[in-house]
Copies of this chain bind each other. A is one copy, B any other.
Amino acid sequence: MTTLSRREREFAARERCILDHARELVREVGFLNLQMAELARRAEYATGTLYHHFRCKEDILFRLASEGIELRSQFFERVARWDACSRDRMAGMGYADWLLVNAHPDHFRIEQLAKAVDIWDRATPEVREAMMNKGEGCGNAILSVVSDAISEGDLEPGTRSPQQVSFSFWTMSSGTHTVTHAAGILERFEMRDPYVILARNYQVMLNGLRWKPLQDAEDDTALYAFFDRLHAEVFPDHQPAHRSHRDVSGDTQ
């Protein structure tokens, strides 16, 4: 039993090692340029060994994507459990996404590529399924906030299902990632700080939904105060994604 368990530990450690090197390689050269032979060389195993852990190259990508999604899920769940009003917790989801981009700048690329139909089809169904299960955590965290808002009377459900409300915020976040990471678009559009705009958009959307307490979506002082509070209370163990408001105020000169 000890023996078996030691074997299992070694196996897991090797897998970890491969995934770490893979992540690094993806960051350096991109997934399509990642060569299995080079990955094996860096991890100091033979090419064939990789295939004991992963059925194909795409499965490695999906495993990396899963890790990022799991992290996001954890971020979202922290925010969902935050001791704050439902509106602030929903607004916090946008910030959590920003935090994830800071912590794993390459995660979005990985997830984007994994979800591109072309790659999607090449991965093993089980590995895809595992990734989607991690994703469910994100969806549930957001849904729980919407449900709370309705039951606490902060949000009139109207003709919208909680899923539809979640979907709205989800599309804003997802779209912000896409547009932000598409090379050259922000520069051409003279945009900076897209995630601050995302946070503002959350406020605009929340107001549009009449999600109480209503708030002035133009008030940057309040927005940065919100960032500060959220960060201090929910993510004290992470680097803040935003600069302090004082820095931003002095920005124009």
Residues of A at under 8 Å CB distance from B? 30-33, 109, 112-113, 115-122, 132, 135-136, 139, 158-161, 163-164, 166-168, 170-176, 178-179, 181-185, 188-191, 194, 197-198, 200-201, 203-209, 217-218, 220
Contacts and interface: CB of A to CB of B under 8 A. Distances in A.
What secondary structure prevails in chain A residues at the interface with B? Answer: helix
B32 A181 contact: no
A119 B116 CA distance: 11
A188 B207 CA distance: 28
A184 B166 CA distance: 17
A230 to B, nearest CB: 21
Contact of A204 (B203, B208, B217): B208
Nearest to A30: B118
A35 to B, nearest CB: 13
A6 to B, nearest CB: 38
Nearest to A158: B218
Among A118, A188, A198, max chain B CB count under 10 A is at A118
Given A201-B205, A205-B208, 13 more contacts: A109-B116, A112-B112, A113-B118, A132-B188, A135-B185, A168-B172, A170-B179, A171-B172, A171-B176, A174-B178, A175-B175, A178-B178, A209-B217
Contacts of A168: 172, 197, 201, 204
